[in-house]
Chain A
Amino acid sequence: MKKLLRTAAVAAAVTLALAACGSGGGNPAANVSPTGEIKPRQISWLLSRPADGAVINIMKKIADEYARTHPGFSLNLITTPDRPSYIQKYETLAAANKLPELFDTDATPFAQQLAKKGTMVDGEKLLKDLGVYDSYRTNALNYQRFDDGSLYMIPFQFELEYFWYNKALFQQAGISVPKSLDDIPAMCTALRKAGITPLALDGQDQWPLERYVSYQPFRDAGPDYVQKLKKGDAKFSDATGQKTVNWISQLGGAGCFQDGFSSQGYSDAQNLFTSGKAAMYNIGTWELPSLATDKLNPAVRNDVDYFTLPATPSSATATNEYVATSGIGMAVNSKTFDPLVSDFLKFALAKYPSEYAATGALSPTTNVQTTIPANATPLYKKAIDQAKDLGSKLAMPWDTQLDPTTNSRLQQELVLLAQGNIKPAEFTSTMDSTIAQNAPKFFK
């Protein structure tokens, strides 16, 4: 019986995490320039970035520098690079009102609820107060904004997403760069006939396939479509929705993605492309060191190029408008915001852009030049320079826009649709009813 009850306890484990939870809110987020003495102590940043990545390395260096003039200060970086695990950790801490001084979040509906409760410091006011607001790229800040235009997160990167392709494999299959999204299914058929995997896809992480469902609506109806869809004001059953549903079904039917893509991970997809087995790979500039330097497999190095999200003259958005993200943003906890946190942020945000650009990455600010690495191929500079010609409308990743339940269901149903396990009509009715059931809880 004891064993049995112990089993029951595991089933009820969810409440263990909740037992300590309070429902308290933070302080009002109005005051962005706290006054008083700077008392050095340890501050923590709960983040979801690669442990040995540029952001963490630079912030460690800056924190060490700050500690030299402020003995007793240290920055405790607690990273969980796996995004779903991070989100679970962060949301549980938010529920327990135990978030640290700094924490990462996308501009999700959950984060917006936190902002409304006054848990976060107003990012726009803070950046203006620190005197760095104008140096940020408009697109980098816009990516971090909530629907109402408010800004609570600070960006630390800027990435553009392209379709990388293998010119030799395109030539072998007798195809060229697509002029519109509608050309892609036929390209896949041609590539499959030539024995080539058309698109390498990381299906395990789910967000890469979710990007595809956002493309047709972005071109057909512009960036506002997802804003309406997530609230139930637009539906998958309307003309734009059907266009994307049918397109995903066509991509699956034409064998665009590798066999068994749903259980293949990030490195599997990348290896498929860099080993010359897959013809296309949709990924952002964060992969430039792997795709446009001498680290890339010599057998494909000279064959790799990229194209941006295809658009036609009748598209609602221009060819220079596609997915451009400033990554997960950093929010500042209003409850623990004091002269020390404010002073450190002022110090860090002034130094960060030049350090970050020196690593070969695109800074979220416009006041620095990206250093092209010595081992880069010509494609590196081309991809970086593309940022200068970026339009003003952004294709927002849908996983940051939809309510979490709808988002999970969409990710699951998309796999089934792309694998041909369900028909477009079934997908449409499931998703529309899921949105109708869940959206009102988040977008009242």
Chain B
Amino acid sequence: MLPNRSRLSVLVFLLPPLLLYGVAVLFPILQSLFLSFFSWNGISDMEFVGFANYVRMLTGDSVFWHSFINALGYLAICLVLQLGGALFVASLLTSLRRGAGIIKTLYLLPAVISTVAIAFLFVRIYSIDPVGLLNQVLSWIGLGGLERPWLSDVNTVLAAVSGPEGWRFTGLYMLIIYAALLAVPQELEEAARLDGANQWQMFTKIRFPYIRPVWITTTIMATTYGLRGFDIPYLMTNGGPGQSSELLTTYMYKTAFTSTDFGYASTISVFIVIECLVAVGLILLMLKRKADA
């Protein structure tokens, strides 16, 4: 129990950020929820439509569902690249005696490059005419048959726009996981080694359980970033060709600022909020069950 003076100090320090948080975060969410029950193009009178926008979104909008499926695909690719890649590289780094610093810096570099630069860089890498790096490499290694305009092919474009996003943040998550791996007590590892554990067992029975709290945090971070991915797909393909790389976020943005259908765009944004909450809830549940097992 804090003395009265201390309680007041806590309130004085907590209130301003809480107020700021309420104005900058909670208010827009509530405003979105409010707008989602209206039809409004920005200059017309707002017309109350009840749940019509939700009915349209869930039952009558094929682009919405296409974007939702794409968003899940985009998320899956980003997670594999970011978390899988980060864990793999961090594990390798722990066994390196020299050069770890340089490798860390190189992997972290994409995280500090501007998004626009990354998008343009990859548009060139995927290009077929003039031939880009990827197609050139495929040709050099005798896989010329795989050459294609990666961003124009409806079968490859989603993976092609997910790649740069995954690549960009692998270094950041690698650093976090690497720091966690370094914190694993040497005595535990030595004891396991004396008990005859091999490298795989060391990883699955000692290291990974030890870094589980960090893993949960990074998974939540990567998932929420992935679900709200916007800039790279928007800059590289604008959701195209057709709706092949349209994500819920790009679709919401276009609905608001191109179609000027602010009511319906708010409905999509409410869905994104719920989707993020559900995703994080599922992650926590799954990892908690695993930890309890």
Mask: chain A, 397-435; 1 = CB below 8 Å from B; 0 = not: 000000011001100110110010110000000000000
User: How many residues belonging to B are interface residues under a CB distance threshold of 8 Å?
Assistant: 61
Residues in chain A near residue B42, CB distance under 8 A: 18, 21, 91-92, 94-95
- Interface residues in B39-76 by Cβ distance below 8 A to A read 41-46, 63
Q: Are A416 and B25 in contact (CB under 8 A)?
A: no
State whether A3 and B258 are in contact (beta carbons under 8 Å apart), knowing that A11-B276, A12-B29 are contacts in the complex. Answer: no
Q: Which of B44, B63, B129, B154 touches A259 (beta carbons < 8 Å)?
A: B129
A339 to B270 Cα, complex, angstroms: 47
Cross-interface CB contact of A260 among B152, B224, B227, cutoff 8 Å: B152
The answer, among A7, A18, A262, for a CB contact under 8 Å with B224, is A7
Q: Which single member of A13, A110, A415 contacts B240 (CB below 8 Å)? A: A415
**Closest beta carbon of chain A to B198's beta carbon, Å:** 37
CB within 8 Å: A-B pair count? 168
Q: Which of A87, A260, A413, A422 is in CB contact (< 8 Å) with B258?
A: A87
Considering only residues 215-241 of chain B, those with a C-beta below 8 Å from chain A are: 220-221, 224, 227-228, 236-241
Q: Number of A interface residues, CB 8 Å?
A: 57
Residues of A within 8 A of B243 (CB): 412
Interface 9-mer from B136-144, B182-190, B259-267: B259-267
Tell me if B111 counts as interface (CB < 8 A to partner A).
no
User: Does B105 touch A at the CB level, under 8 Å?
Assistant: no
In contact, A408 and B220 (Cβ under 8 angstroms): no
A135: Cβ under 8 A from any B Cβ:
no
**Taking the nearest CB of chain A, how far is it from the CB of B24, in angstroms?**
7
Residues in chain A near residue B123, CB distance under 8 A: 263
Q: Is A14 an interface residue (CB 8 A)?
A: yes
**Set of chain B residues within 8 Å of A119, measured between Cβ atoms:** 43
Choose from B151, B227, B269 the contact partner of A14 (Cβ within 8 Å).
B269
> Are B265 and A8 in touch, CB under 8 angstroms?
no
CB distance from B217 to the nearest CB of A (A): 9
A176 on the B face (CB < 8 A):
no
CA distance A383 to B219 in the complex (A): 60
- Compute how far the CA of A263 lies from the CA of B120 in the bound complex, rounded to whole angstroms: 11
Bound complex: CA A259 to CA B148 (Å): 9
Q: Does B242 contact A (CB under 8 A)?
A: yes
Closest to B151 in A: A263
**Given A5-B26, A415-B242, is A14 in contact with B266 using a C-beta cutoff of 8 Å?**
yes
A6 at the interface (CB under 8 A from B): yes
Q: Is B257's CB under 8 angstroms from A9's CB? A: no
For residues 225 through 251 of chain A, which have their beta carbon under 8 Å from a beta carbon of chain B? Answer: none
A413 proximity list for chain B (CB < 8 A): 242
- The answer to whether B256 touches A408, judged by C-beta atoms less than 8 angstroms apart, is no
- Top 5 A-B pairs, shortest CB-CB distance: A260-B149, A95-B42, A263-B151, A11-B272, A88-B257
- 10 new A-B contacts at CB < 8 Å, known A8-B272, A12-B32, A416-B242: A3-B224, A7-B276, A15-B35, A16-B28, A23-B43, A95-B41, A113-B41, A260-B151, A263-B151, A263-B237
Which chain B residues have a beta carbon within 8 Å of chain A's beta carbons? 21, 24-29, 31-32, 35, 41-46, 63, 123, 126-129, 148-149, 151-152, 154, 220-221, 224, 227-228, 236-243, 249, 252-262, 265-266, 269-270, 272-273, 276-277, 280
